[in-house]
């Protein structure tokens, strides 16, 4: 029980300065958000809440997958946006084989892309950041080459994919997917041997290897899951925009990493949870939505996101250090 709480960072211990600082920061963010919610016209409406959840869903699915990499102690991946974009492209292209085949093929490709990167990181201890930057370049090149630089549109005969973007009981379908895949991963990380071994690997790589954990396999799994989830999000992004090119890459990479960091997961691995990242994704979507409604420019939105990331990274790090 204590160990389970420890993983969530909830075990009983004396409260120190960094805890207070983090609590103060969170309280300040909550206060500013509440103030913003009260004073921003059009924020506290049902339709806006739905918009926030939809925006959070696309980034959130990617971010919870990425969390497995973070927990395994391999920092993060910088190829997520490209993975999502090429998944959307492949999905729309393979729709001519039928909806089920398109989904399965896209998810398999996502899994394979991640597994290859994970193998280089796990077996050879290649630097995860640089490997994923290189992989992103390769994916961009491949995508332009194979698509001849044109954007992909779904075949006219096939319309079943449109359900993936339509509202169900008032909420967009991706929101349900986000909730379900987050719940599955959260349970898997705590109940399965794989999940517990990922935590151990992130906590102490030397000990994990000494305990004969399959380090390579675990890393392949971590990158594979992150990439699989990103491909899943790519399917939903493609279905929503009904038109896919590399432009879809957008800021998904940074938004997903920001969600994982803002959720308070330790960047050095081993401590954090899927739920924290999901909360981080919803928080970032809320802030972005509010800034947009208040008329902030793109720059203002990026700047605020960056400041929140830096402060949270410093505070969670201090908190981890003081344990």
Partner 1 sequence: MSALERVRYRPRPGDLAPYAILALMILALALLPALTQYTVRTANVYDILQNFASYGLVALALGITIIAGEFDLSVSSMYLLGGMVAVLTGVGSPFLGILAALGTAVVVGLLQGGLIARFRLNSMPVTLGGYLVVLGITYILGHSKSVIYENFSVGLRLDKPVLQIFSIRSLVSLGIFVVAALVLRYLRVGRDIRAIGGDRRAARVAGVTVDRLLVGVFVVSALGAALPGALLSYSLATASPTNIGFDVLTFSATAALIGGVSLSGGKGGAVGIAAGVLSLSVLQEILSILRSPDYVSSLITGGLLVVVTIVWAPDLSRWFRTTRLARSVEPERAPS
- Check binding of 170 to partner 1 (CB under 8 A): no
Helical packing angle, 173-191 and 215-241, nearest 10°: 170
- The DSSP secondary structure of 68-117, one letter per residue, reads HHHHTT----S-HHHHHHHHHHHHHHHGGG-HHHHHHHHHHHHHHHHHHH
Q: Name the segment binding partner 1 (CB under 8 A); options: 20-28, 86-94, 140-148, 171-179.
A: 140-148
Smallest distance, Å, CB 237 to partner 1? Answer: 18
Separate counts of helices (H) and strands (E) for the chain: 13, 2
Number of CB atoms found within 10 A of residue 112's CB: 14
Segment 255-274, which members bind partner 1 (CB under 8 A)? Answer: 257-258, 261, 267-268
Does 306 help bind partner 1 (rule: CB under 8 A)? Answer: yes
Q: Please count the other Cβ atoms lying within 10 Å of the Cβ belonging to residue 128.
A: 24
Q: Does 26 bind partner 1 (CB under 8 A)?
A: no
Phi then psi for 73, rounded to 5 degrees? 80, 20
Based on CB atoms, which residue is closest to partner 1, 275 or 304?
304
Binding of residue 161 to partner 1 (CB under 8 A): no
Stretch binding partner 1 (CB under 8 A), from 37-45, 87-95, 97-105, 129-137? 129-137
Task: Confirm if 224 and 118 have CB atoms less than 8 A apart.
Answer: yes
Distances (CA, A) of 56 to 63, 81, 284: 10, 15, 8
Q: Under rule CB under 8 A, which residues in 48-107 are in contact with partner 1?
A: 75-76, 78
Q: Does residue 140 belong to the site contacting partner 1 (CB under 8 A)?
A: yes
Note whether 206 binds partner 1 by CB under 8 A.
yes
User: Does residue 302 touch partner 1 according to CB under 8 A?
Assistant: yes
Instruction: List residues near partner 1 by CB under 8 A.
Output: 75-76, 78, 120, 123-127, 129-131, 133-142, 144-145, 149, 205-206, 209-210, 212, 214, 249, 251, 254, 257-258, 261, 267-268, 297-307, 309-310, 313-314, 317-318, 321
């Amino acid at each position: 029980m204590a160990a389970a709480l420890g993983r969530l960072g909830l075990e009983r211990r004396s409260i120190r300065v960094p805890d207070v600082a983090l609590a103060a920061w969170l309280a300040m963010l909550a206060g500013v958000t509440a103030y913003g919610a009260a004073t921003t016209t059009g924020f506290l409406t049902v339709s806006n809440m739905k918009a926030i959840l939809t925006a959070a869903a696309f980034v959130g699915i990617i971010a919870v997958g990425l969390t497995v990499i973070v927990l395994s102690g391999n920092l993060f991946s910088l190829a997520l946006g490209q993975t999502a974009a090429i998944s959307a492209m492949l999905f729309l292209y393979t729709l001519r084989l039928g909806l089920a085949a398109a989904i399965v093929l896209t998810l398999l490709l996502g899994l394979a892309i991640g597994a290859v990167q994970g193998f280089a990181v796990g077996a050879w201890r290649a630097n995860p950041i640089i490997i994923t930057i290189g992989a992103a370049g390769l994916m961009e090149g491949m995508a332009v080459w194979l698509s001849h630089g044109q954007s992909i549109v779904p075949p006219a005969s096939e319309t079943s994919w449109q359900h993936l973007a339509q509202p169900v009981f008032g909420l967009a379908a991706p929101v349900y997917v986000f909730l379900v895949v987050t719940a599955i991963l959260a349970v898997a990380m705590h109940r399965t041997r794989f999940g517990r071994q990922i935590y151990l690997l992130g906590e102490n790589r030397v000990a994990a290897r000494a305990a004969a954990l399959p380090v390579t396999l675990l890393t392949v799994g971590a990158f594979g899951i992150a990439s699989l989830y990103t491909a899943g999000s790519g399917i939903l992004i493609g279905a929503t925009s009904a038109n896919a090119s590399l432009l879809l890459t957008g800021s998904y990479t940074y938004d997903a990493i920001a969600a994982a960091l803002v959720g308070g997961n330790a960047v050095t691995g081993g401590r954090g949870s899927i739920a924290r990242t999901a909360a981080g994704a919803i928080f970032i979507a809320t802030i972005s939505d509010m800034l947009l409604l208040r008329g902030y420019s793109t720059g203002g939105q990026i700047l605020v996101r960056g400041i929140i990331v830096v402060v949270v990274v410093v505070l969670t790090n201090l908190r981890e250090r003081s344990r």
